[in-house]
C-alpha cells in the first residue's frame, strides 16, 4: 500500500474512532441524566439488540456481551430493575429460565434522547445510493468483526 492510501485509510480509522467517542459521550450523558451507570446503558443496548435479533435475553448473554462476571452482571440487572428499566420474566417455553425484558418506559426515554441523533443519521443515509450504503455496511460489518471479542480469541 502506498503512503497516500495508508494515510487515507488511517483518516477513516480516526473518523470511526471519533464517531465512537462521540456516541460514547452521548451514552454517558443519557446515563447521567437518568441516574444510570454507563454500563447500564450498554446493557440496555445489548438487550434491545438481542430482542431485535430474536435472541433470548438472559443474564448469561448479557454478561458475555458486556464482558462481566456473574456478580457484575447481577449488579447491572439489579440496578436496571430498581430504576424500572428492565424486568425479569419467566421464559414461557422453559419456566426455569429467566429472561430480561426492557420496559416500555426505558424504550421511550431512549427514543426521546437518541431519536433525534438516529434521525440525523437516517437523513444522511437517505442521501447515499444503494451501492454507497452497501459499502458503508460492508465496512462497518468488517470493523465490528475486528473489534468483537471473538476476533481476538
At 153 the pLDDT is 47
What phi and psi values does residue 83 have, to the nearest 5 degrees? -80, -5
Burial of 51 (0-12, 13-18, 19+ CB in 10 A): middle
pLDDT, averaged across the chain? 93
Give the global pTM.
Answer: 0.86
Q: Which residues contact 105 (CB under 8 A, 6 or more apart)?
A: 84, 85
**Residue percentage of the chain with pLDDT more than 90:** 88
Q: What are phi and psi of 101, to 5 degrees?
A: -125, 130
pLDDT value for 57: 95
- Judge whether residue 151 has pLDDT over 60: no
Enter the C-alpha cell of residue 73.
Answer: 452482571
Write the pLDDT tens digit of every residue in 81-132.
999 999 999 988 888 899 999 999 999 999 999 999 999 999 999 999 999 9
Whole-number Cα distances in Å, 6 to 15, 19, 75, 122, 138: 14, 20, 44, 29, 19
User: What percent of the chain shows pLDDT beyond 70?
Assistant: 97
Report pLDDT for 1: 78
Amino acid at each position: 500500500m502506498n503512503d497516500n492510501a495508508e494515510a487515507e485509510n488511517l483518516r477513516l480509522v480516526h473518523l470511526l474512532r471519533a464517531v465512537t467517542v462521540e456516541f460514547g459521550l452521548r451514552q454517558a450523558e443519557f446515563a447521567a441524566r437518568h441516574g444510570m451507570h454507563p454500563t447500564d446503558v450498554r446493557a440496555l443496548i445489548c438487550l434491545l439488540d438481542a430482542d431485535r435479533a430474536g435472541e433470548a435475553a438472559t443474564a448469561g448473554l448479557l454478561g458475555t456481551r458486556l464482558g462481566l462476571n456473574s456478580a457484575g452482571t447481577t449488579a447491572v440487572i439489579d440496578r436496571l430493575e430498581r430504576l424500572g428499566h428492565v424486568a425479569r420474566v419467566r421464559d414461557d417455553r422453559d419456566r426455569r429460565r429467566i429472561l430480561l425484558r426492557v420496559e416500555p418506559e426505558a424504550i421511550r426515554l431512549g427514543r426521546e434522547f437518541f431519536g433525534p441523533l438516529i434521525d440525523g443519521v437516517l437523513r444522511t443515509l437517505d442521501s447515499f445510493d444503494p451501492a454507497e450504503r452497501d459499502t458503508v455496511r460492508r465496512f462497518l460489518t468488517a470493523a465490528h468483526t475486528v473489534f468483537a471479542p471473538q476476533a481476538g480469541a
